[in-house]
Each structure stands twice: as C-alpha cells, then as structure tokens.
C-alpha cells in the first residue's frame, strides 16, 4: 500500500473555509451558530469567527442531521439536547464507514 501523507490540520478555520467544507453558504453557518448552543466559535479582535476542529465536527453533525437526514432545525435541536452522545457516536461510525468505503474503492480502482 502506498504511503499517504497525513493531512495537516489547522488550529483555526475561517467561516469561509468551513462553509466550503460543508458546501453551504456562509450565511447558513452564521445562522446555525445563532440557533445551536453547541456552536461557540472564537472571535478575533476584528470579530472574525475562528472555528476549531471540534466546532467543525459539531457543524458536520448538524449538517448531517439537517441536510442528509432531513430533520427540521427544531428536531435537530431536540435530538442534540436529549441524545448528544448517541448522535455523536452514530456520526463517528458513519465517518469511519465512509473512509473504509473510499479506501476499498481506491483499492478496486488500482487493481
């Protein structure tokens, strides 16, 4: 198996970078920040939002619930407030399975 260099992870990401990762408009990220208590990005002296990898993970969970599972915002709030551990666990499993699928497809394509 060829050597793959690990991605360099930044400490902080701008709101534009986060919106690009999630493939949503910047305004959606701002709106979710105001709606959900789990999102608390840092702000620099200029007021620019700085998202940590933990913030991005929370945003990806939100994105999954709202965009992929089709939950309403109030439904997502309720689920996150009641069953955060379960939601986080399911998200981690889903991410692991997606990585395995990608790896298997790469292997298949290189055979």
| pTM > 0.75 | no
Domains of the chain, by residue range, sit at 13-82
Q: What is the CA radius of gyration of the chain?
A: 16
Q: What is the pLDDT of residue 85?
A: 76
Q: What is the pLDDT of residue 6?
A: 64
Topology of domain 13-82, per CATH? Multidrug-efflux Transporter Regulator; Chain: A; Domain 2 (1.10.1660)
Contact 71, 65 (CB under 8 A): yes
Per-residue model confidence as pLDDT tens digits over 53-71:
889 988 988 888 888 888 8
Per-residue model confidence as pLDDT tens digits over 68-101:
888 888 888 888 877 777 777 887 888 888 889 9
Contact 60, 33 (CB under 8 A): no
Q: What is d(CA 14, CA 34) in angstroms, rounded to the nearest whole number?
A: 17
Asked whether the predicted pLDDT for residue 40 surpasses 90, the reply is no
- C-alpha to C-alpha distances, 98 to 56, 75, 92, nearest whole angstrom: 17, 25, 10
More confident site: 68 or 12: 12
Q: What is d(CA 34, CA 5) in angstroms, rounded to the nearest whole number?
A: 37
Q: What is the pLDDT of residue 4?
A: 63
């Amino acid at each position: 198996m060829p050597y793959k260099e690990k991605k360099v992870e930044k400490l902080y990401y701008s709101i534009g970078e986060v919106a690009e990762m999630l493939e949503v408009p910047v305004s959606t990220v701002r709106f979710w920040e105001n709606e959900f208590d789990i999102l608390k990005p840092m702000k620099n002296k200029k007021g620019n939002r700085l998202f940590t990898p933990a913030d991005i993970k929370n945003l990806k969970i939100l994105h999954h619930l709202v965009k992929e599972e089709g939950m309403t915002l109030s439904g997502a709030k309720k689920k996150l407030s009641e069953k955060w551990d379960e939601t986080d666990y399911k998200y981690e499993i889903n991410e692991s399975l997606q990585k395995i699928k990608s790896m298997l497809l790469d292997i298949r394509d290189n055979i």
